[in-house]
């Protein structure tokens, strides 16, 4: 059953979506400290996903108590979410940055909102409005400026393909997160998906696809030096477990298209936390890019039709 979006619901959904974007956005700064201390990116992201999966394990079991039939009924979607939206997105992105500039790889991955719009246009005939198209274009220009990809960036054909794979994984995350007709609580979908993602990344590390190296040295940040487990816990609990639950919840409230564009605020959050934790100050051009992203998101919201593509989730019974 498709429902019109209520104003109050949209306001709350936007707040939750921005919170999710800021939670996701802090991961890069925390991870940079680990990488500078000798961790490989693959080890950092695998630790991140495992911590999040373990944190959500008990809540997932509690929310599914007496409802395990939902897991069997949605097994295909859960596996797709875990392997494509979690594992492939992370793995393909790191494969891309291994052979090309980070800015270009991020730019390609962050075209996921456009892929979401095209998916609903092709799949359901939901053609985007002119205002939404204009907003998408402005947001894309803002991303180009924020990621600083115009100053001699290194481009690799194979890297582009890996980055496109990461983009497909990110788009899958928004499309599947927006499905409220499954009956799966957001915590359960996040917990099961992250557990599958952790297993997938660990497998990639064991067979040598994802380089793994880590240590227990202290990690330095702008505010001081902390034990290695502090950033690992911060990334796992705040930037992954909390971020995925908030992301799924907001996507069900806003719909996949709008939520995917609001998620571009993650780039702004990444710059903010880069300054707070690492002392990395964004330049004037990057600040201008951030403003354009926000303008683009507003235009996309104004261009949304009154009827959304998401399905209102079924009410959840109280957990005893």
pLDDT digits (tens, 9 = 90+) for 237-247: 998 999 999 98
Hey, which of 211-220, 255-264, 292-301 has the most confident mean pLDDT? 211-220
Averaged pLDDT, 127-142: 80
Residue 314, domain member (yes or no): no
- Alpha-helical regions (H) of the chain: 7-25, 27-36, 41-63, 69-73, 75-80, 89-97, 102-109, 112-124, 130-147, 157-177, 186-206, 229-233, 243-254, 256-262, 265-278, 284-302
Q: Would you state the pLDDT for residue 135?
A: 80
Q: How many domains does the chain have?
A: 1
Averaged pLDDT, 198-206: 91
Residue 164, domain member (yes or no): yes
Residue 319, domain member (yes or no): no
Residue 312, domain member (yes or no): no
DSSP state of 74: T
308 pLDDT above the threshold of 50: no
Q: What's the pLDDT tens digit per position in 23-49?
A: 988 887 888 888 889 898 889 889 999
Residue 132, domain member (yes or no): yes
Residue 76, domain member (yes or no): yes
């Amino acid at each position: 059953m498709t429902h019109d979006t209520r104003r109050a619901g949209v306001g709350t959904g936007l707040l939750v979506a921005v919170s999710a974007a800021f939670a996701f956005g802090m991961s890069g700064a925390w991870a940079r400290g680990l990488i500078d201390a000798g961790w490989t990116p693959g080890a950092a992201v695998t630790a991140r996903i495992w911590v999040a999966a373990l944190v959500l394990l008990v809540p997932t079991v509690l929310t599914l108590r007496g409802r395990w039939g939902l897991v069997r009924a949605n097994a295909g979607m859960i596996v797709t979410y875990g392997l494509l939206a979690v594992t492939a997105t992370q793995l393909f992105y790191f494969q891309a940055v291994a052979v090309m500039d980070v800015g270009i790889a991020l730019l390609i991955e962050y075209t996921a909102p456009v892929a979401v719009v095209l998916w609903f246009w092709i799949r359901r005939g939901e053609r985007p409005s002119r205002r939404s198209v204009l907003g998408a274009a402005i947001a894309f220009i803002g991303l180009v400026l924020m990621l600083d990809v115009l100053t001699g960036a290194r481009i690799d054909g194979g890297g582009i393909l890996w980055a496109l794979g990461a983009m497909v994984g990110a788009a899958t995350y928004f499309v599947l997160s927006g499905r409220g007709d499954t009956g799966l609580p957001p915590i359960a979908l996040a917990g099961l998906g992250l557990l599958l993602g952790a297993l997938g990344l660990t497998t990639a590390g064991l067979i040598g696809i994802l380089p793994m190296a880590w240590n227990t040295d202290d990690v330095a940040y702008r505010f001081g030096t902390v034990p290695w487990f502090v950033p690992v816990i911060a990334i796992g609990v705040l930037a992954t477990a909390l971020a995925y639950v908030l992301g799924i919840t907001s996507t069900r409230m806003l719909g996949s298209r709008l939520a995917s564009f609001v998620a571009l605020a993650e780039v702004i959050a990444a710059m903010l936390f880069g300054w707070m934790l690492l002392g990395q100050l964004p330049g004037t051009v990057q600040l201008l890019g951030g403003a354009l992203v926000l303008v683009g998101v507003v235009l996309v919201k104004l261009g949304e039709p009154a009827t959304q593509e998401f399905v209102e989730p079924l009410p959840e019974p109280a957990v005893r």
